[in-house]
Structure 1
């Protein structure tokens, strides 16, 4: 079947390898209807002047934290760690308004398009006003994100977060966490409202902040509301060694072990970070079919530690990447540091490669991220395949990193040799999208930053 639009690429990454003369047909809904290889360009096809690869899903994002990037990189005294960073980050979380969030997210989402992401999973827990009063609409902060995504042209998977307690053994949130408060019923209602809105390129799943942030009864209640619905369920888990120690003290089990033995995990679950996992944890997750979302840029910035990448890959656990705190906003750097962290720790090279099946570390990680990103966003398909949304990146063969290289080395050079965005165009739903922020977006972002960080500013409402 022919699509309403035909695109032709001289080279395209299809089914995990480079294919020549690829016709990509786009249907009326903006999805790939047919992918045909080894076919010269028809007269009615738009010719793409460069190799084509899938874009990626950014599987874990806190958009508001874009306004905090660069503002926690000093240590005046003592020791600095994740928990100190978190307390400083709350200064932003307690003041940003819906209007400021829209401005920050618009800037961020444009940067994500430039970084090769065309869908973002927003792990959203800024639910309530800064001053504790009520919004006119309890989803005002969520709509600010959705509107920003629509304005920029990126896809959005909104994940309203259940957040009910400040830690293991606590029965409520801290005073500086009041904006986050949401039980399972609130999160499920938010999910239903987002889905009912019918916004183009916007869908929704649900999330639990963490085992320290959601009690066992919250998890049980959310699962009863979700039932058998096929939607993504995300959770922060095993990011910090202190979190693992606290979970052991409170439950007698490690976080991943607890989730598995409680019978919660299935292929809908996305375990964000999963940094501190032992072989038994990995085996349990593999049996469940759940996936993991690794955020190497943020995990490095916060001093979280390194995941057991060889263990996860060997177990066949689906994995993908996310930008999390926004210190990086492109997948090239995430994949690069996913591999480089392992090289530094193990003093080896090409740790992610699989000799005999996929000798390219870049290709193995990229293909994993394509497939894992689809699951994280709640899609049945992603990439250059029929039924997936017609999203793609057109590489620039004249980019410094790609100039003169043989075709088979292009993806390796993108990940390990480029400075970030070696493509000439970004496509979403069959349309090329601008991926440089318009002046109005940059101006609004700068104004929001001045409001948020000037000494005499007041918290948003």
Structure 2
């Protein structure tokens, strides 16, 4: 049993002082506000539950910045995708692991303590499966084990190149599986994460572009437990193509045909009608929002106000990993709503409520649901995942309570993250991951070689 002591902590009941946490086998066994410091290990600062990252493609960290040169007229998500296909065409298993480790270090230093890795890079560069079908899943698991981040691994089912079972392109050859081989890959992924504490394996049908109704139904039915994530309604063209194929919009089609419920997380869900917005909220599924990536790709702005008013649940993710910063995703989410509605403090629920606290607690709860793990709260029975802010930082020194969260999200950002604990183990100290230098050196060698390939 490890007995910890925090000066201040955000509990489910609100802010508390002199908080004792008893941690055993990575899990919080007891929480004691107003505890004595005697016999406990003091960790100074302001303790928050770690924020889950509900959507990441770690390999894309290696191409961050490579798609910022203007292309032909109509430069868009679809032209960005071609840059991505060229980049992943050269990746080896060792590259995948090195890039994932760097991304995971940055997540931990940036205030995320767990990640749902939406993993669709499965095969060798020519599309041939590795001898171990789950080779690249094992590389993601190895990076998670090295860095200490909590992992929900979501092998992605990708069988087609477009709606209605269109033939895949050359750039998609590393993603492709039929349902039987995909289910074998899922079993391999479960073996790959077996050594990690509290890891979860779910599935991620990539999108309605990449499956058919029959194959989607087959893989979801074959994996009755665990999270189900899918990209949906990210781009206007995707919506238009889906209407042309099925007569329905993507979210509308999923709600009517896929049995969407609390297991599901619809990534982006950017372009929804009022009926879709209310339907997704009523389903109990989580909207997986990635505000920095959605802004980078020109996706559009999520219908946040209507979704929250309908009781919808959301969390945030780092997606393309162009900038990995937990408070930054929350800030971009709120700022996008301010721009859309030309108002301030849009996602706060009532007069006098802290926007930062509402964003943080909602994203913790939604992220925990989407990852299928007991995380996102400082409460008995949850993993001891904590982000500890530097109380002496200039942006926190003159405020307290909810203002700490407002300043963390809207002012100071990752610069106030002092320590990070995952499963009660300290992996970040004074803002630096314990293996930052060695992992960064390996990553630098990797991207330098890829740049010259």
The 3-state SS of whatever aligns with 2:174 is helix
Q: Which runs of 5+ in 2 are unaligned?
A: none
Q: Which of 402, 416, 424 matches 1:430?
A: 424
Q: Which runs of 5+ in 1 are unaligned?
A: none
Shift of 1:218: 1.3
* Cα distance in 1 between the residues matched to 2:81 and 2:250: 20
User: What is the TM-score of this pair, normalised by structure 1?
Assistant: 0.94
Task: Kindly indicate whether residue 168 of structure 2 is the aligned counterpart of residue 173 of structure 1.
Answer: yes
**Superposition pairs for residues 133-282 of structure 1, below 5 Å?**
133-197=128-192, 198-201=194-197, 202-227=199-224, 229=225, 231-282=226-277
* Cα distance in 2 between the residues matched to 1:208 and 1:445: 29
* CA deviations over 1:219-252 (Å, ceiling 9, x no partner): 110122023x2x1000000000000001111111
* Partners of 1:16 and 1:367 within 8 A in 2: no
Corresponding position of 1:340: 335
**Superposition pairs for residues 28-427 of structure 1, below 5 Å?**
29-41=25-37, 43-197=38-192, 198-201=194-197, 202-227=199-224, 229=225, 231-355=226-350, 359-427=353-421
* Cα distance in 2 between the residues matched to 1:406 and 1:426: 20
Shift of 1:438: 3.1
Answer with 137-146 or 332-341: which moved more: 137-146
The 3-state SS of whatever aligns with 2:392 is coil
The 3-state SS of whatever aligns with 1:110 is helix
Shift of 1:375: 1.1
Corresponding position of 1:439: 437
The 3-state SS of whatever aligns with 2:61 is helix
Aligned residues: 447
* Cα distance in 1 between the residues matched to 2:329 and 2:389: 18
User: What is the TM-score of this pair, normalised by structure 2?
Assistant: 0.95
* Partners of 1:10 and 1:21 within 8 A in 2: yes
Shift of 1:254: 0.8
| Pair 1:285–1:148, CA change in 2 (3 A) | same
The 3-state SS of whatever aligns with 2:45 is coil
* Cα distance in 1 between the residues matched to 2:422 and 2:10: 17
* Partners of 1:11 and 1:50 within 8 A in 2: yes
* Cα distance in 2 between the residues matched to 1:315 and 1:309: 10
* Cα distance in 1 between the residues matched to 2:160 and 2:52: 30
* Cα distance in 1 between the residues matched to 2:375 and 2:254: 27
Corresponding position of 2:20: 23
